[in-house]
Structure 1
Amino acid sequence: MNTLNTRQQAQLAFIASNAELEVGHPDDCPLPLATLATTDGSEDYVSRVLSGGLTAHVYRIEAQGRSWTLKRARERCLVQNTDGQTSFLNEVQRRADLRELKRDPILGERLIGIVDTCYGSFRQGVLLSPWIEGDPIATWNERQLTQLFEMLAALLLGGLFEWDLCPGNTLDDGHVRLFDFGYMYRFDPLRQFNSNGTEMPQFHAAERFETRQYFAHLLALEQREESLALAAFALEKRIALEAYGRLHMELETRGASSTVLDWLAGIIGEWKHAMRGDLEALYLKEAWRSHWLDLHDDLSGQTCTASTLARIGWLERTTRERHGDLQRLLPVEPQRQLVEELRRARQLAERWQIA
């Protein structure tokens, strides 16, 4: 059984058991646990009901003179796959891990952007955190990118891999904040590439950010002016390259395997070569990868949006206009086959649109 299946089976077995998992203590909560566990948004202490949570209902609540974020697990996650169905359990597990990691004397200060957890209970379906007075990040700047990659590198060194760096999971209140960990999993950074072991080397922290968020941002810039998108890509790649260089040194110091170090060095080398030469070719290659993978993430979970359709549009245009360039950069299917795959993908994406 591979690493992915082993993790999924362990989580399904935990859900089927009667075991509880808690982070913190109910006495740490500003309201009784029974009150939090039955909150439905109609209460006087609820100041805001947030939409869009696929795993949990999310509320801003007011208690003891301050604001809090309350997550209550949905009875049925809206993501229709195993990782979706186990995502609330996974988030409680990671909240426990992150609480400990933030106390680490070396990595803790690099994780100030990770939200604190006041209390969490898997069986009660409750997660309570301080409210973040931040805004979604519409246009990524140098400060934000630097803070994000510093935090991602610290998470990797701490043995945690975040798969879902989508726009809804990042906020900025003067510092980039991460607060949703339903798709963050443990792994061994000295022996593995990500939480799927060494089976899927194409997935890494920068790729996850680009695939789940940044290339959607670049697509919007492309529609204004392609040079804007290429400049923003160059900025992100420079910051990612610096972060990956430091990560490589830290992993080497900690005794990482040659398999991991060579893999990471290969990514760094490709980026350096592109930064010195044909950045446009790297843009095309990684844009295709990002839009293609994100499309299939959405189709797998049956959680498609207008952004899914925009990505399909980019893939369709690129298939028509630049298939020859793609073939020189990537192993892609024949043009006619891609056109048919994308036609079917558009039909499914239109059927599985969520609010």
Structure 2
Amino acid sequence: MTPEQNRHAAQLAFVASGAELNIGTPEECPLPVDQLVATRGDEPYVRERFSAGLTAHVYRIHAQGQDWTLKLAREKCKVQNVDGQTSFLNEIQRRADLRHLKHDPLLTDRLSAIVDTRYASFRHGVLLSPWIEGVAIQAWDERQLLQLFDTLVALLLGGLFEWDLCTGNTLDDGQVRLFDFGYMYRFDPLRAFNSNGTAMPQFHAAERFETRQYFAHLLRLEQDGERLALDAFTLEKRIAVEAYQGLRAELASRGAAPVVLDWLDGIIATWKRALVNDVSELYLQEAWRSHWLDLHDDLSGQTCTPSTLARIGWLERTARERYADVQRLVVVESKNRLFDQLREARQLAQRWQVA
């Protein structure tokens, strides 16, 4: 079986086993666990309710003199695949891993951007963390990108690969925070590219950020001028090069396999070459990849949004106006077949819009 199939089998077996998974103890909760589980949003201790979560109902609650984030697992996750259906279990597993990694003296400071966990129970479907007084990031600047990549490198060194670096999973309170780990999986950074081993070299930390979030930001910038988007892309790539060079050096010092080091060398060399020569071609190549992959992520989970439709619009326009350039840079279908696929994708994305 593939690493992904092994993970699915293990997660489904755990769900079926009836076994419990806890972080912390009920005594550490600011309110009784039964009361937390019964929360519906109209209680006096609830300050805000957030309905957009696909895996859980999320509340901002106040107890013991401070605010907390309370996540209660949905009876049925809105993401219609195995990873979605086991995402709450996976998040608790990863939070347990992260709690352990935060005691590693080599990673403690670098993982300070990761939210702490006060209490979690898989069988009760409850997860409680300190509230993050941050805002969603609308426009990424240098400080934010540096902080994010430093955290991503620390996660990789700790053997954790985050697949879902979407807009809803990052907040900024002066420090870029990560707080949702439903699609973060274990892997061996000395022997593998990501949690799928070495089978899918196209997926890595910078790609996941670009695909799931950054190119949606760049797409908005394009409306005000391609130069703005290209400058923002160049900034992100310069920061990514430095982060990946640091990652490569640390993995080499730990005895990483040549296949991993060669893979990172190839990515770094491609980026550096584009930064020295013409970054616009790399922009087109990675924009196409990002919009195409994110579209299929949304379709796979049947969780589409207006952003999904905007990405389809970009793919349609680019296919009409620059098909020959795209064909030179990436593997694509014939033009007629490509437009058939995009037409079908638009129909499905409109049908599967998530409120």
Residues 246-279 of structure 1, C-alpha deviations (whole Å, 9 max, x = no match): 0000000000000000001100000000001120
- Report SS of the residue matched to 1:98: helix
- Report SS of the residue matched to 2:223: helix
Residues 62-95 of structure 1, C-alpha deviations (whole Å, 9 max, x = no match): 0000000000000000000000000000000001
- Report SS of the residue matched to 1:194: coil
Q: C-alpha root-mean-square deviation of aligned residues, in Å?
A: 0.5
How many angstroms does 1:334 deviate by? 1.0
- Report SS of the residue matched to 1:72: strand
Q: Which amino acid aligns with 1:186?
A: R
Q: Which amino acid aligns with 2:318?
A: T
Tell whether 2:296 aligns with 1:301.
no
Aligned to 2:144: 144
Identify which range, 290-299 or 102-111, moves more after superposition. Answer: 102-111
Aligned to 2:191: 191
- Report SS of the residue matched to 1:69: strand
1:312-351 aligned within 5 A: 312-351=312-351
1:80-99 aligned within 5 A: 80-99=80-99
Tell whether 2:202 aligns with 1:202.
yes
Q: Percent identity?
A: 71
Q: Give runs of ≥4 in structure 1 deviating > 3 Å.
A: none
Q: Which amino acid aligns with 1:103?
A: H
Provide TM-score, normalisation by structure 1: 1.00
How many angstroms does 1:242 deviate by? 0.4
1:1-355 aligned within 5 A: 1-355=1-355
Q: Which amino acid aligns with 1:218?
A: L
1:51 & 1:74 partners in 2: Cα distance?
Answer: 11
How many angstroms does 1:353 deviate by? 0.5
2:349 & 2:331 partners in 1: Cα distance?
Answer: 24
Q: Which amino acid aligns with 2:307?
A: S
Q: Which amino acid aligns with 1:69?
A: T
How many angstroms does 1:333 deviate by? 1.1
- Report SS of the residue matched to 2:13: helix
2:246 & 2:23 partners in 1: Cα distance?
Answer: 32
Residues 260-316 of structure 1, C-alpha deviations (whole Å, 9 max, x = no match): 000011000000000011200000000000000000000000000000000000000
How many angstroms does 1:191 deviate by? 0.2
How many angstroms does 1:23 deviate by? 0.7
- Report SS of the residue matched to 1:224: coil
How many angstroms does 1:40 deviate by? 1.0
1:185 & 1:24 partners in 2: Cα distance?
Answer: 21
Question: Where in structure 2 are there 5+ consecutive unaligned residues?
Answer: none
Residues 309-331 of structure 1, C-alpha deviations (whole Å, 9 max, x = no match): 00000000011110100111111
2:285 & 2:46 partners in 1: Cα distance?
Answer: 46
Q: Which amino acid aligns with 1:78?
A: K
Provide TM-score, normalisation by structure 2: 1.00
Q: Which amino acid aligns with 1:214?
A: Y
Residues 18-72 of structure 1, C-alpha deviations (whole Å, 9 max, x = no match): 1000011111100001111111111111110012100000000000000000000
Question: Where in structure 1 are there 5+ consecutive unaligned residues?
Answer: none
How many angstroms does 1:169 deviate by? 0.3
- Report SS of the residue matched to 1:280: helix
- Report SS of the residue matched to 2:192: coil
How many angstroms does 1:103 deviate by? 1.1
- Report SS of the residue matched to 1:195: coil
Q: Which amino acid aligns with 2:274?
A: A
How many angstroms does 1:160 deviate by? 0.2
2:278 & 2:7 partners in 1: Cα distance?
Answer: 40
1:108 & 1:323 partners in 2: Cα distance?
Answer: 47
How many angstroms does 1:238 deviate by? 0.4
